[in-house]
Amino acid sequence: MRTLKAVDVVIVGGGWTGLLMAKELATRTALEVVVLERGPARKSSDYGADMDEVDYGIHNKLMHSPALLTVTHRHSMKDRAAPIRQYGSFKPGTGTGGAGEHWGGNADRYLPEFFTLKTHLLEKHGKLPEDLQVADWGFNWDQIENDLWRAEQLIGVSGKAGNIKGKIIEGGNTFEGWRSHEFPTPPPKKTWAGEQFRKATLDMGLHPYPQPSANLSTDYTNPDGISRPGCAYCGYCSGYACMIGARAQPTNTLMPILRRRSNFSIRNGACVRRILHRDGKATAVTYMDEHGEEITQPAGIVILAAWSTHNVRLLMLSKIGDQYDPVTNKGLLGRNLTHQVITSARAYLVLKEAMNAFMSNSGLGYRISDYDGSFGIKSSDGILRGGTFNGAVLSASMPINSFGRIPPELAPRNWGAKWKAEAVRLHDHVIGGCGFRGDHLSWRQNFMDLDPVYTDAYGDPLLRMTLDWTEHEIRQLEFGERVGMQMTESLARVTGAKLYMRPAAAPLRPQQLAAPAGRRYNASDYNTTHIQGGAIMGSSPGSSVLNPWMQHWQLSNLWVVGSSAFPQNSSGNPTTTVLGTTYRAADALIDRYLKHPGALA
């Protein structure tokens, strides 16, 4: 047990949010900034030999091992929670760069009304379901747009705008909120499969647009002077680190700047266990270092920037804030737990043509926003929010994970001579039904607290998630599968492919060990890594943990950045908004708090 000399700022977590906060603080101020990162040091040049499906795609070499720390899950308060023993529905990262090292690069924006969703839905429907806990974030689109643009420039998003300052542009996402600028880089190269999906959806009168992506289409230099090359389409993308730096990762975008700053340091192997606090101020953090020694690091400002569930768990372990209780609806810490609502049309398309799907990246192809938010939703659909669609599961093109993706009716069982012959014949010729990704609204009964049974390597309780789909999400899933099937049928017409139905019992991923689990939240099958909420922001200390600048309402020198602060979960992937809100928090901290330390609201 050692206590170190105090530093100005300590940041917990060395991923996108922690290192962006560090970059802003270390370049705009003279403060001494220390980042504590649980995992190993990583740098871009480590990634020359990571094109290996077994170590990275299957054994999750870049992820945080659940052996050290996981979460538990139960569907309702009546159920017994079980630990997530091997990764299933999400995959948190570890090491310098965090999950930002293995993300897929999808760089969507949320719809404008998403930041004021409670107000929006009340205006639209008059009355909301009793247990719905969607909330306003405390700022609106006009106040966050420039920060989203800064985020897009930082990572160099490739795409085509559909709405520049109100001017609608065909070929871009015409449903998006106004944006101040065209994307920093143009859309990526076209693929055969992507073009078929584009034709199929244009035939339906829909508006396909290129998926915005942080996998650069061309060489690009960002406003910080960081240059990165265009994507090589090697196909080893989501789940792998980019060996050439075409995909924005904290190690290639932020660390090159931070390494030059003498007021910045990062300590790897530092697992933070508590935030110490006294008289309404955070005073220090305690952590186990790489040698297993317990260290106390005093600091003037503490910034929590770990992955979403870890931010919430650290607040709980440190006894900062009152635990939320869904029975009494009291307490704020742990509420608004959300994931994303993901499904795909229950179909297989057997194509005549080969796709050459080994050439790809995780952000290729087109997306459809005609049913996003409340666009295109009829009252008979029975849902408050829809989602976006894309052209099937194309990125799962690595040979182990995709071999045997054939309609089950073509072989008596999923092994043996007949199955092998069909799987070999149809390899690279079969895609699943079109995919759906919907908003996940926050409900009273979905929340996080500390597990009373299971602990981590140090004996601290794991975080427990109580989470299930409500009737609303089940209707969203049905909607996604129904509309996705219309797109899949159109894709069959355009390509002349044969359409097969996928039985409910057939797993989407041919090598999935656990059976598909129907309409309950399935912690054993990959969804997305976008678990959100638990320490939400808002404009009132009576209904949120953080103020609209991500400053803790009670501890003014504690900031909690990342999507743990998001009151509801969007169809759009979060990274752009995570980075945008981090810029907003950094500005408030540097331009306002440092001049007049204290509560900003």
For other proteins, the closer of residues 59 and 165 by Cβ is: 59
Interacting positions 215-254 with other proteins (CB under 8 A): 230-236, 243-244
Interacting positions 67-86 with other proteins (CB under 8 A): 67, 70, 73, 75, 79-80, 82-86
Nearest approach, Cβ of 277 to other proteins (angstroms)?
A: 29
Annotation says 73 is catalytic: no
Interacting positions 500-529 with other proteins (CB under 8 A): 511, 513-515, 517, 520-524
Measured distance CA(77)–CA(272) in Å, rounded? 29
Interacting positions 401-420 with other proteins (CB under 8 A): 403-404, 413-417, 420
Is the separation of the CB atoms in 548 and 538 below 8 Å?
yes
Which span (48-56, 115-123, 200-208, 259-267) binds other proteins, by CB under 8 A? 48-56
Residue with tokens 């990262």: 93
For other proteins, the closer of residues 65 and 539 by Cβ is: 65
Asked if 54 interacts with other proteins (CB under 8 A), we say yes
Per DSSP, what are the bridge partners of residue 93? 63
Residue with tokens 């317990």: 294
Asked if 453 interacts with other proteins (CB under 8 A), we say yes
Which span (53-61, 97-105, 288-296, 319-327) binds other proteins, by CB under 8 A? 53-61
Each residue 8-37 as x (binds other proteins by CB under 8 A) or -, in order, gives ------------------------------
Which span (95-103, 137-145, 291-299, 425-433) binds other proteins, by CB under 8 A? 425-433
Q: Which position among 73, 102, 310, 530 bears the catalytic label? A: 530
Measured distance CA(28)–CA(558) in Å, rounded? 19
Is the separation of the CB atoms in 245 and 191 below 8 Å?
no
Asked if 200 interacts with other proteins (CB under 8 A), we say no
Q: Amino acid identity, residue 536?
A: I
For other proteins, the closer of residues 378 and 413 by Cβ is: 413
Is the separation of the CB atoms in 351 and 427 below 8 Å?
no
Please name the residues in contact with 33: beta carbons below 8 A apart, sequence gap of 6 or more: 7, 8, 9, 11, 22, 25, 26, 261, 263, 264, 265
Q: Amino acid identity, residue 124?
A: K
Nearest approach, Cβ of 270 to other proteins (angstroms)?
A: 21
Q: How many residues bind other proteins (CB under 8 A)?
A: 73
Measured distance CA(480)–CA(465) in Å, rounded? 25
Provide the 10 A C-beta neighbour count for residue 457.
Answer: 10
SS3 for 372-399 is: CCCCCCCHHHCCCCCEEEECCCCCCCCH
Interacting positions 106-145 with other proteins (CB under 8 A): none
Interacting positions 279-298 with other proteins (CB under 8 A): none
For other proteins, the closer of residues 49 and 327 by Cβ is: 49
Question: Residue 371: phi, psi to the nearest 5?
Answer: -120, 20
Per DSSP, what are the bridge partners of residue 8? none
Catalytic residue ranges: 530
